[in-house]
Amino acid sequence: MKDKVIIITGGSSGIGRACAFSFGKAGGKIVINGRNSQKLQEVGQELQSAGIEYLAVPGDVSKEEDCRILIEQTVAKYGRIDVMLNNAGISMRALFQDVDLEVIRQLMDINFWGTVYCTKFALPYILEAKGSVIGVSSIAGYQGLPGRTGYSASKFAMQGFLGALRTETLHQGIHVMVACPGFTSSNIRNTALAADGSQQGESPRNEGKMMTAEEVAERILEATRKRKRDLVLTTQGKLAVLLGKFLPGLTDKLVYNQMKKEPNSPFK
């Protein structure tokens, strides 16, 4: 990653923040993007203190123009893009019959369209550098999760988009990877949307038993170096993907029962 230019959306917290440090310590020049300018600057100062060169570009990936500006400012400063790490995302927790359709629209705008916009504007530079396009997805992109219809839909869409892009550019020398961390100790569940669009506030899962964002970031860095096609983390995640291929009916039941165990689950 020495002197490579890495753009990380959702870079002010969680996996995005951790990736900024992992890729930066590996020698990369880091461009972090996020909606919260103050948090972004705080992370930027931490990167600087760690001796990592960075550029902070505030913006909302659900807005096409903000994504265009992100790419333009990166190229204006560094003249190239080597890795487009599409990490920005939000989740939800509500039954489809109860959820406001605007919640699903928001998830698609950020999780799917944010990936499409950033990748579209970055692609000419990625092609030139023969670099990487990475999407941080989820097991929800392989297996529909009850209570997360909008989240699963957005991640299935992201994976379909990146899979098609990989095939389109098969002979153009670029690397396209889908990374699925599984349940990770980050703030995505705390900021997950409820049925009415409000933030759920409390994570329904035991964060202490999950893989940390820092562990996930190191694995994403390693997989990027090796130019892997897919990265599925955690034993539970790998099992869900494997069973989903060969025993889909059983997988549905297992996933339902797992989600049913969550505190305040709507399935009890």
> Interior CA angle at 26 toward 70 and 76, to 5°?
25
Residue 13's CATH number:
3.40.50.720
* Cα separations in angstroms, 160 against 38, 104, 115, 120: 34, 18, 12, 15
For 209-259, the pLDDT digits (tens) are 678 999 999 999 999 999 999 999 988 889 999 999 999 999 999 989 988
Report the pLDDT value the prediction gives residue 209, as an integer from 0 to 100.
61
Residue 109 inside a domain? The answer is yes
Residue 17 inside a domain? The answer is yes
Q: Are the C-beta atoms of residues 17 and 213 closer than 8 Å to each other? A: yes
Distance CA 240, CA 219 (A): 19
Amino acid (one-letter) located at 60: D
- Taking 80 as the threshold, does the pLDDT of residue 206 lie above it? no
Residue 264 inside a domain? The answer is no
Residue 158 inside a domain? The answer is yes
**Positions marked active-site:** 151
What is the enclosing helix (H) or strand (E) of 150?
helix 149-168
Residue 127 inside a domain? The answer is yes
**Which residues constitute the domain of residue 133?**
5-237
Of the candidates 161, 138, 134, the residue with the CA atom closest to the CA atom of residue 150: 138
Distance CA 43, CA 213 (A): 15
Q: Are the C-beta atoms of residues 138 and 148 closer than 8 Å to each other? A: no
**Whole-number percent of the chain with pLDDT over 90:** 81
Residue 253 inside a domain? The answer is no
Report the pLDDT value the prediction gives residue 62, as an integer from 0 to 100.
98
Domain count, the chain: 1
How many H helices and E strands in the chain?
A: 9, 9
Residue 260 inside a domain? The answer is no
| Mean pLDDT for all residues in the chain | 92
Distance CA 178, CA 191 (A): 23
φ and ψ at residue 127, rounded to 5 degrees: -65, -40
Residue 246 inside a domain? The answer is no
> Interior CA angle at 203 toward 201 and 209, to 5°?
155
- Per-residue pLDDT, averaged over 145-167, amounts to 97
Report the pLDDT value the prediction gives residue 186, as an integer from 0 to 100.
52
- Per-residue pLDDT, averaged over 10-34, amounts to 97
Q: Are the C-beta atoms of residues 233 and 214 closer than 8 Å to each other? A: no
End-to-end Cα spacing for the chain: 48
**Whole-number percent of the chain with pLDDT over 70:** 93
